[in-house]
Amino acid sequence: MTERVTIIGGGLAGSEAAYQAVKRGCKATILEMKPVRFSPAHTMEGLAELVCSNSLKSESLENASGVLKEEMRVCGSLIIKAAEASRVPAGNALAVDRKAFSDYVTGALADAGVEIERREVTDIPEARPLVIATGPLTSEPLAGAIGGLISSSNLYFYDAVAPIVYKDSIDMDRAFMASRYGKGGDDYINCPLDEDEYRRFVEALLAAEMVKPREFEEMKCFEGCMPVEAMARRGPDTLMFGPMKPVGLVDPRTGKRPYAAVQLRRENIEGTLYNIVGFQTRMTFPEQRRVLGLIPGLERAEFARFGKLHRNSYIDSPRLLTPAQSLRTDGALFFAGQITGVEGYCESAASGLLAGINACRRSRGQSPVCPPPTTVMGALVRHISSERDSAFTPMNANFGLLPPLKGRDRRERLARRAIEDMRAWVDGGFKFLETSA
């Protein structure tokens, strides 16, 4: 008997998962709620709908998104094949005709024999292996059932994300390492501001261009995830009592407490990425670069991830998932795509790719696998499934997740190593690097 993998959600992750499973000889069924029910962002009947931009971002190997695409190509990704077949000219970016893209995926899955049942799933089916790939706008009844399965405190509905910058782009002649009141070692990078710098920053923040929330994203924020600009609107000094408070800090250059300070906290084990604490924002990406560049030390900061605030259902993967994308408590129940806390079209598809491979392996009693940590795909799934003390926020592909290399041409060498290691993983039958899951 051929083993069957059941997948809830025929988006980018679910489609890729189904394709990978059938490519390996498993049967696959996708349970997709469109057109019976549409999320507030979906409008097309076809699978793998791109709900917003028609770009899958850059193909250049100078950035991690381009490297991830190359890795997916090496793995035989359906989403990359569909994008190549439906591409429209867009310079370095892999942009597509979204209708042709969705038609290609829907047709390829039908040709491969994937069964597609069009219905809303409202409870967790008994079928195993099961892949839940219902995305950032998972319908409410199923979100409730997932909350019941993993505990609702492990399921988030909004994403209030502070920007993350590369450490080596921070000017450490202006910034300094310290913890407030000297507690906890030199854990934070601190950017001190004098009064003029603070006032100029607040003025620029209040005048900055913001991304407008979609109707279904209008929300009341908890104090803990309030955007920095909303705090600034409460009064000119509010930020000095919030994320820019200087208490407990002494600038080693002046020997005094700064007028205000911005703190950055380490984001990954390697210490290559730092997030700007409390700076979740709706500023547009160019405005984040400009306005946050007024903070001393961040003038030339390079952003690994920009700040955001939007509707996004995702689970607390660091506490729940293995790098193979299955639950730690149920090795036959997988999550894939944006619901795992990866962020972006390709990242979601890559997560589906790995879940599809592992769901098929599971159905045959084989152990789970994961690409090496030196690949962008391997680093990303390890990042989201690594336990941490701080709150988990979604993550996109970026070079800061990879084990660092020293010396010149680092990005080029990181990219080359990632692609070579991915080829070796694929040539070795996708299995030489098994996870401990």
Ligand X SMILES: Cc1cc2nc3c(=O)[nH]c(=O)nc-3n(C[C@H](O)[C@H](O)[C@H](O)COP(=O)(O)OP(=O)(O)OC[C@H]3O[C@@H](n4cnc5c(N)ncnc54)[C@H](O)[C@@H]3O)c2cc1C
- Rule CB under 6 A: is residue 36 a binding residue for ligand X? no
For the sheet with 93-96, list strands across it: 55-58, 93-96, 87-88
Q: What is the total count of residues that contact ligand X (CB under 6 A)?
A: 33
Q: Give the separation between CA 210 and CA 213, rounded to whole angstroms.
A: 9
Structure tokens at 325: 């994308």
- Rule CB under 6 A: is residue 115 a binding residue for ligand X? no
Backbone φ, ψ for residue 73 (5° rounding): -60, -45
- Rule CB under 6 A: is residue 211 a binding residue for ligand X? no
- Rule CB under 6 A: is residue 281 a binding residue for ligand X? no
Least distance (Å) between residue 63 CB and ligand X: 13
Least distance (Å) between residue 147 CB and ligand X: 13
Least distance (Å) between residue 356 CB and ligand X: 12
Structure tokens at 360: 């098929």
Residue 313-342 contact track with ligand X, rule CB under 6 A, x = bound? ------------------------xxx---
Least distance (Å) between residue 115 CB and ligand X: 14
Nearest residue (CB) to ligand X, 296 versus 344: 344
The SS3 assignment for 425 reads: helix
Residue 49-68 contact track with ligand X, rule CB under 6 A, x = bound? --xxx---------------
Q: Give the separation between CA 395 and CA 408, rounded to whole angstroms.
A: 26
The SS3 assignment for 176 reads: strand
Beta strands in 298-373 (DSSP E): 303-305, 308-315, 326-327, 330-335
Least distance (Å) between residue 233 CB and ligand X: 25
Binding ligand X (rule: CB under 6 A), the pick from 94, 133, 295, 433 is 133
Q: Give the separation between CA 417 and CA 67, rounded to whole angstroms.
A: 10
Task: Identify whether the C-beta of residue 162 lies closer than 8 Å to the C-beta of residue 279.
Answer: yes
Strand partners, 374: none
Least distance (Å) between residue 348 CB and ligand X: 3
- Rule CB under 6 A: is residue 394 a binding residue for ligand X? no
Binding ligand X (rule: CB under 6 A), the pick from 84, 97, 115, 120 is 120
Task: Identify whether the C-beta of residue 342 lies closer than 8 Å to the C-beta of residue 384.
Answer: yes
- Rule CB under 6 A: is residue 142 a binding residue for ligand X? yes
Q: Find all residues with CB under 8 Å of 145, minimum gap 6, and list them.
A: 122, 123, 124
Distance of CA 80 to the CA centre of its chain: 18
Nearest C-alpha neighbor of 297 from the set 197, 372, 407: 197
Written as one string, the DSSP assignment of 32-62 is E-TTTS--SS---SSSS---S-SEEEE--TT
Backbone φ, ψ for residue 95 (5° rounding): -105, 150
Least distance (Å) between residue 263 CB and ligand X: 28
- Stretch of 5-13, 151-159, 354-362, 364-372 contacting ligand X, by CB under 6 A: 5-13
Binding ligand X (rule: CB under 6 A), the pick from 5, 8, 26, 397 is 8
- Stretch of 30-38, 240-248, 318-326, 366-374 contacting ligand X, by CB under 6 A: 30-38
Closest residue to ligand X, judged by C-beta, is: 11
- Rule CB under 6 A: is residue 138 a binding residue for ligand X? yes
Least distance (Å) between residue 13 CB and ligand X: 3
Residue 337-376 contact track with ligand X, rule CB under 6 A, x = bound? xxx----xx--x----------------------------
Backbone φ, ψ for residue 378 (5° rounding): -65, -40
- Rule CB under 6 A: is residue 42 a binding residue for ligand X? yes
Least distance (Å) between residue 55 CB and ligand X: 7
Distance of CA 25 to the CA centre of its chain: 30
- Rule CB under 6 A: is residue 139 a binding residue for ligand X? yes
Binding ligand X (rule: CB under 6 A), the pick from 134, 275, 398, 435 is 134
Peptide bond into 394 cis (omega under 30): no
Residues engaged in binding ligand X (CB under 6 A): 8-14, 31-34, 39, 41-42, 51-53, 120-121, 133-139, 142, 337-339, 344-345, 348
